[in-house]
Amino acid sequence: MPVIRLETFIDAPKQTVFDLARSIDLHQISTAHTNEKAVAGKKSGLIELNEWVTWEARHFWIVQKLTSKITAMNAPDYFVDEMVSGAFKSFKHEHIFEAQGEATLMIDVFNYVSPLGLLGKLADKIFLKQYMSALLVQRNKVVKEYAEKREQK
């Protein structure tokens, strides 16, 4: 099972970063290059514990749907979203927020299992882990940008 771990330092308070990381609207901004849209469940605002969202996006030239649910939350320190249905066999995305003085260290731990057995494992090694890492890095870049702009006001 591949694991992607990212750490992003954000010069903004933990609560601000926690809320932006849960924002359906900001997620759509950060994934505009895939035309990702919330099409069912929670479609805007801040997603909460036990809420779910179905995303529709274009990945690898194919329009795909993926439904995830918030399965754990301890505001403003931590939340987890897990795939309910979609292209992966499974995934679990842990979002961890640690105060660093007046700033925040946002940590992503993304565990996933690709479909298709050995073919999926080969795809992980060739391109999928890199592709997923790039999506998460882009998302974190947008969270950082919005959080730091909000704090400058």
Q: What is the domain count for the chain?
A: 1
pLDDT digit string, tens, across residues 6-36:
999 999 999 999 999 999 999 999 998 888 9
pLDDT band at 153 (very low <50, low <70, confident <90, very high): low
26 in Cβ contact with 149 (< 8 Å):
no
Output the pTM of the full model.
Answer: 0.92
Residue 40 pLDDT? 96
Q: Which residue, 16, 7, 9, 12, is CA-closest to 102?
A: 12
Host domain of residue 64: 3-152
151 in Cβ contact with 38 (< 8 Å):
no
User: Which CATH number do you get for residue 91?
Assistant: 3.30.530.20
Residue 151 pLDDT? 67
pLDDT digit string, tens, across residues 101-144:
999 999 999 999 888 777 767 777 778 889 899 999 999 999 99
Residue 18 pLDDT? 98
Please state, for a pLDDT cut of 70, what percent of the chain lies above it.
Answer: 97
For residue 80, CA distances in Å to 12, 70, 92, 134 come to: 21, 6, 7, 20
Q: Would you say residue 71 has pLDDT above 70? A: yes
Residue 62 pLDDT? 80
Average pLDDT estimate for 60-71:
89
